[in-house]
Homo-oligomer: A and B are copies of this chain.
Amino acid sequence: MNFKRTGIGSATKSGLSSGKRTLASHRNSTLVEQEEKRQDLGFGTRINSSYARLINKDGSFNVSRVHASFWHRLNLYHRLITMSWPKFLLLVFAAYMTVNAIFSILYLLAGPEYLKGLPESNTGNRFWGAFFFSAQTLTTVGYGHVSPSGYLTSAIAAFESMIGLLAFALATGLLYGRFSRPIAHVRFSRNAVFGPYLDVNAWMFRIINQRSNQLIDVEVEVSLSQLETKPDGTPFRRYYLLKLERSKVNFFPANWTLVHPITESSPLYGCTPEQLEESDAEFLILLRAVDDTFSQMVHARTSYRADEVLWGRKFRSMVDSKTSGNYSLDMDTFDDTSEVPLNS
């Protein structure tokens, strides 16, 4: 972005070249330059320790809203796509029952005598007869042992079968949307660890792809967020991008341990467990990858708080010793760590 301020000086007609001192007195601002270099992930600096963690374990954010409009909060499609399968199927079933109930009442109001073939009997029987006729119309089964006659009943039935078609179309779209939605089923280790790494120490965590579909071009960004104090004593939140020994891999067939080596340039250099806890530290993880099956971008997020970091431990190897002739990983050992002295 080579921005060149060349044009405005010659803009004599619009008069922009006169009265140059109206808005700003300083030619350059070192405060602005400092601010431009500051890391910010989008949370802002005002979130202090009285709040809970920034990113929940499942990757959602800890920000709520009041006075949002009903429709914006509802966000129907998003909800129908992201709700759990049992909830979704129950909702579909409930909607099916409700629509049938409404139409069966309409048929009864139009006159049960216009539903030819309906067993004549008491009101309860009639309702269920109309209900099942409605179901046969909505699903377009249409056996025909009960059939509409008369303008009104025929019109309701014609309308209901159209509604049935559209509802079917909707269900198709929702099911496809739910299935094809790109999700990275990446498992993050329960804890992060502080352990020795080469001739220094490092902050580390481990990930693995839980699914059989491959992830490729996997990229991980780790940020450290902690409370600091301004010269005037007011606390504010700072963000540091942590440099990883390796932040991108082409393939992700096995487990991957992410390593932030604690050299002098690290914001964690010389930090103790107590200091980490006091500063309300939170490690924010953002993972981007490409799902190989559908060539879709997928994302995963999580965070580790100070109390989820184990000191003086390292991750155990996941290679399954009992299996031979093939590179095999034991998923049960994914979260396992063992004690190890830190480099001094």
Contact = CB atoms under 8 A, between A and B. Distances in A.
Contact of A140 (B139, B151, B214): B139
- The count of identical subunits is 4
Nearest to A254: B63
Interface in A259-280: 261-272, 274-275, 278-280
A266 B144 CA distance: 76
A218 B331 CA distance: 35
Contacts of A136: 141-142, 157-158, 161
Contacts of A123: none
Contact of A25 (B50, B228, B278, B344): B344
Contact of A10 (B68, B69, B231): B231
Contacts of A96: 162
Contacts of A46: 317, 319
B278 A15 contact: yes
Given A14-B275, A24-B262, A253-B63, A132 B154 contact: yes
Interface in A299-344: 299, 317, 319-320, 322-332, 342-344
A296 interface: yes
A139 B166 contact: no
A303 B250 CA distance: 14
Contact of A238 (B7, B20, B198, B325): B7
B295 A200 contact: no
A42 interface: yes
B185 A175 contact: no
18 contacts: A5-B264, A5-B266, A11-B229, A15-B275, A15-B278, A23-B342, A24-B269, A42-B252, A55-B251, A65-B330, A66-B330, A67-B330, A73-B212, A140-B142, A169-B175, A169-B176, A181-B293, A216-B286
Given A41-B251, A42-B218, A136-B157, 9 more contacts: A5-B269, A13-B227, A21-B270, A78-B211, A82-B293, A139-B165, A143-B147, A173-B175, A182-B294
